[in-house]
């Protein structure tokens, strides 16, 4: 199966190992993985900030960059995938809506969603020893309707004990520019999420979205809590 990977901006710049580990798992699952080095952003930051025309320009480039050469587009970010699926039709309204836009939403998948729903894989042969709790990102849960798939994958990781935290569907407080514009609220939400995670006895918080984990990790490090954050791609690629 031919797959084009989309690497979100913050993963490209701050957490490149997530992208490499996603590729490792996809290839292990039998995929032929392709990467277009000309790819840039999906347009979500500009759109969320109200710069709709700028977002449309970036989104049009995204469609050109991923117009061919693979059956599917896979990204380690439900946030970016949710934006492409749900908001590209808004950018390219009914007057200009054409097949590339329609097909883009059908071809793009978040990494774990692709494994469980397209490849029908629940066990990737990973091994990672520790106690972890899973954080449902808002984008995964609400925009991509991803809930059980990541948990099934984690339950099949040898040596990993998965425990659920209280209010696991509650936002972590990141929300992109929300964390900057409403900093006190954002910090309070991070504190609540971290406290719920600590109450489980877990030493790891795992999620599909590095943006959430980046926010939580900053709060954890500031307070020196005995918790680590891990993207699910890093866990599924592990052989510890």
199: containing domain:
127-236
Q: Distance (Å, rounded) from C-alpha 54 to C-alpha 205?
A: 35
Cross-strand partners of 160:
130
Asked whether residue 109 falls in the same domain as residue 136, the answer is: no
Asked whether residue 106 falls in the same domain as residue 144, the answer is: no
Asked whether residue 210 falls in the same domain as residue 140, the answer is: yes
**Where does residue 13 rank: exposed (0-12), middle (13-18), buried (19+ CB within 10 A)?**
exposed
Asked whether residue 9 falls in the same domain as residue 108, the answer is: yes
Collapse the DSSP code of 2 into the 3-class scheme (helix H, G, I; strand E, B; otherwise coil) and give the result.
strand
Asked whether residue 6 falls in the same domain as residue 103, the answer is: yes
Of 118, 146, 177, the one marking the end of a domain is 118
Asked whether residue 154 falls in the same domain as residue 99, the answer is: no
Of 96, 118, 140, the one marking the end of a domain is 118
Structure tokens at 190: 């991070």
Q: Give the pLDDT confidence score for residue 96 in this predicted structure.
A: 54
* Per-residue model confidence as pLDDT tens digits over 95-123: 455 566 767 888 999 999 999 999 999 99
Q: How many helices (H) and strands (E) does the chain have?
A: 13, 8
173 phi, psi to nearest 5 deg: 105, 0
Asked whether residue 105 falls in the same domain as residue 145, the answer is: no
Q: In what order do the strands lie in the sheet with 32-34?
A: 32-34, 2-5, 72-75, 108-110
* Per-residue model confidence as pLDDT tens digits over 153-206: 999 999 999 999 998 889 988 877 776 777 888 889 999 999 999 999 999 999
Of 118, 152, 176, the one marking the end of a domain is 118
Asked whether residue 155 falls in the same domain as residue 92, the answer is: no
Helix intervals (H) in the chain:
9-14, 16-28, 44-48, 52-65, 78-91, 99-107, 111-113, 138, 148-155, 178-181, 183-199, 210-223, 232-236
CATH at 177 = 3.40.50.11810
Q: Distance (Å, rounded) from C-alpha 169 to C-alpha 178?
A: 18
Contact assessment for residue 206 and residue 134, using Cβ atoms and an 8 Å cutoff: yes
Percent of the chain with pLDDT over 90: 78
Instruction: Provide mean pLDDT across the span 64-79.
Output: 89
Asked whether residue 47 falls in the same domain as residue 103, the answer is: yes
DSSP 201: T
Collapse the DSSP code of 221 into the 3-class scheme (helix H, G, I; strand E, B; otherwise coil) and give the result.
helix
Asked whether residue 100 falls in the same domain as residue 184, the answer is: no
**Where does residue 10 rank: exposed (0-12), middle (13-18), buried (19+ CB within 10 A)?**
middle
Which conformational region is residue 120 in: left (phi greater than 0), alpha (psi within -120 to 50 degrees), or beta?
Answer: left
Q: Give the pLDDT confidence score for residue 98 in this predicted structure.
A: 57
Q: Give the pLDDT confidence score for residue 94 in this predicted structure.
A: 56
Number of domains composing the chain: 2
Q: Check pLDDT > 70 for residue 229.
A: yes
Nearest C-alpha neighbor of 2 from the set 20, 40, 21, 29: 29
Asked whether residue 81 falls in the same domain as residue 141, the answer is: no
Asked whether residue 101 falls in the same domain as residue 157, the answer is: no
DSSP 74: E
């Amino acid at each position: 199966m031919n797959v084009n990977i989309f690497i979100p901006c913050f993963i490209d710049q701050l957490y490149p190992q997530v992208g490499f580990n996603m590729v490792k798992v996809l290839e292990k699952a039998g995929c032929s993985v392709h990467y277009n080095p000309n790819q840039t952003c999906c347009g979500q930051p500009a759109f969320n900030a109200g710069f709709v025309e700028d977002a449309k320009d970036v989104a049009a480039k995204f469609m050109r960059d991923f117009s061919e050469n693979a059956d599917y587009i896979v990204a380690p970010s439900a946030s970016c995938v949710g934006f492409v699926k749900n908001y590209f039709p808004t950018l390219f309204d009914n007057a200009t809506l054409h097949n590339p836009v329609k097909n883009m939403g059908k071809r793009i998948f978040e990494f774990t969603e692709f494994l469980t729903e397209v490849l029908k894989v629940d066990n990737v042969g990973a091994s990672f020893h520790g106690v972890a709790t899973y954080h449902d990102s808002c984008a995964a849960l609400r925009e991509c309707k991803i809930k059980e798939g990541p948990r099934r994958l984690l339950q099949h990781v040898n040596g990993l004990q998965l425990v659920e935290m209280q209010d696991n569907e509650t936002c972590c407080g990141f929300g992109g520019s929300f964390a900057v514009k409403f900093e006190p609220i954002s910090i309070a939400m991070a504190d609540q999420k971290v406290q719920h995670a600590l109450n489980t006895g877990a030493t790891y918080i795992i999620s599909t979205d590095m943006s959430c984990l980046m926010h939580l990790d900053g709060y954890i490090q500031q307070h020196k809590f005995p918790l680590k954050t891990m993207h699910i791609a890093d866990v599924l690629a592990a052989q510890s």
